[in-house]
Amino acid sequence: MVKARVMRWIPAVAVVIALFHPAVVQAGVKEEKKVNDAAAVMSEIMAIPEKGIPPELLRNAEGIAIIPGLLKAGFVIGGRYGTGVVAVRRSDGRWSNPTFVYLAGGSFGLQIGAQSTDIVLVFKTSRSIDAMKRGKFTLGADASVAAGPVGRHAEAATDIMLKAEIYSYSRSRGLFAGVALEGAALQIDDNANIDFYNKPAVSVDDIFAGKVKAPAAAGNLRKVLEKYTVTRKGRR
């Protein structure tokens, strides 16, 4: 009799599994695309050395944030919002798996319509990384930020003249240049981390330390970052 009751429940259970299966399969798909987009943005920017991020700046970077397709919209008074990833330099000199972030902030000036822009932030200090991990992090308030230098010939200025903790870049309509982002807020996207790593309440520290199993897209991003950066000890 018990066996008969169990057999009657099997079709109902199968229906429930079928209903939820698509959601399970889709979890993290959007985040994987975002990581792959970030890797593509970095590769495309660095493909033209004379107009990319100075290698010396990348060599000494403690972290890199990549926000593909940040949207800037408005008329006279507008705003900007985008999601992306941050990877940090680990103690062994290699790059960590990415944590997801979003960048949001107001913008003022003469602007009409909407514009999609790729943003790259280069963190020069671990202090700014730690501040970002603690919660809402405002560029220019919690860490100094400046438009970054462009091109291999800017290396000399990188060490001598530049004193900011974070250098920011933008690429829009094929043009790549330093950009001022004072007042924009950078914050950890916990929900995206949960979806990408398929683990409830996953911590940023565990992600950066490599304690969480990551999808293949994370390894692809690490390879791209290692391709264009060399540690201070000369290790990739």
Q: What does the pLDDT look like over 7-21, one tens digit per residue?
A: 343 344 333 333 333
Residue 13 located in a structural domain: no
Q: Is the CB of residue 61 less than 8 Å from the CB of residue 122? A: yes
Residue 217 located in a structural domain: yes
Give the residue numbers spanning the domain of 91. Answer: 28-228
Length of the chain: 236
Q: Is the CB of residue 106 less than 8 Å from the CB of residue 83? A: no
Query: Which two three-digit tokens encode residue 82?
Result: 């985008």
Residue 8 located in a structural domain: no
Consecutive H or E run containing 28? none
Residue 30 to residue 26: CA distance in whole angstroms: 8
Residue 39 to residue 230: CA distance in whole angstroms: 17
Over residues 190-210, mean pLDDT: 95
Greater pLDDT, 120 or 174: 120
| 79: Cα separation from own chain's centroid | 19
Over residues 223-233, mean pLDDT: 79
Show the beta-strand stretches assigned E in the chain.
Answer: 63-75, 77-88, 99-108, 114-123, 137-138, 145-147, 166-172, 175-178, 185-188
Torsion sign over Cα 218, 220, 225, 231? positive
Residue 56 located in a structural domain: yes
Q: What is the dihedral of CA 140, 63, 85, 98, to 10 degrees?
A: -150
Residue 103 located in a structural domain: yes
Q: Give the list of residues 6+ apart from residue 161 with CB closer than 8 angstroms, or none.
A: none
pLDDT beyond 80 at 236: no
Report the domain count for the chain.
1
Residue 98 to residue 5: CA distance in whole angstroms: 48
* Mean pLDDT value across the chain: 79
Residue 1 located in a structural domain: no
- Does the reported pTM lie above 0.85? no
Residue 192 located in a structural domain: yes
Residue 11 located in a structural domain: no
Tell me the pLDDT tens digit for each residue of 111-146. 445 567 899 999 999 999 999 998 879 999 999 998
Consecutive H or E run containing 177? strand 175-178
**Which pLDDT value is given to residue 16?**
34
